[in-house]
Amino acid sequence: MTIIIDDAGSGDLLFGVVIGAYRSETQEFKYDMVGVSFFQSHRFLRKEYLAQASKTISKLLGLLAFKGDEPIMICKSYIFDKGVKDLQRKYGDSLIKRVKVIGEPQRLAELAYLDEIRNLGYEPLKGREKKRAKSFFHMLHWLEANPNRIKYAKTGWPRLSKYRLFRHLASTKR
């Protein structure tokens, strides 16, 4: 049996990141979140999200009753860099492979992320994966219209300080 791990939402302005684990033979899917707080302020600057992603992977493997000898294919996304090293240390290099995740595991992780941001009251753009910049500005405008929801934004990105909505955060990051 093979387990495939993917993320969704890491490049988006809203919410945390979904990490999904999919067992291809049984089509079993589990997911959990790296919370948005890991992408804000000093936690983002210290890259705490990398350790949290590793913990999330371990949790998901437990939920899938990982036996320790199954191949694990993990998305090439940087968010998994620490998780991959931790898995290699624990299970060996031969079981862990970095891959471009496509198909059902990718679709399910993306759906889980979309459900999470819809729970905030945000309706994502159709075809948002092909419209990265447009999707960013759509989320930004939604936050401007709903400033009480800024707590759901990945505010740790340094370049956000050029936008009026985030200027006050630049002085609080230090």
Report the DSSP pairing between strands 96-99 and 17-23. unpaired
Total domains in the fold of the chain: 1
What is the pTM (predicted TM-score) of this model? 0.91
Q: What pLDDT sits at residue 174?
A: 46
Task: Enumerate residues 6+ apart whose C-beta is below 8 A from 38.
Answer: 16, 44, 48, 49, 52
Q: What pLDDT sits at residue 1?
A: 86
| CATH code assigned at 67 | 3.30.420
Task: Enumerate residues 6+ apart whose C-beta is below 8 A from 63.
Answer: 21, 30
Task: Write out the residue range of the structural domain in which residue 80 sits.
Answer: 3-170
Per the structure block, which two tokens stand in for 171?
Answer: 């002085």
Ordered mean pLDDT values, 10 residues apiece, the chain (174 residues): 95 96 96 97 95 98 94 97 97 95 96 96 84 86 94 92 80 49
Q: What pLDDT sits at residue 130?
A: 72
Q: What pLDDT sits at residue 169?
A: 66
7 in Cβ contact with 76 (< 8 Å):
no
3 in Cβ contact with 68 (< 8 Å):
no
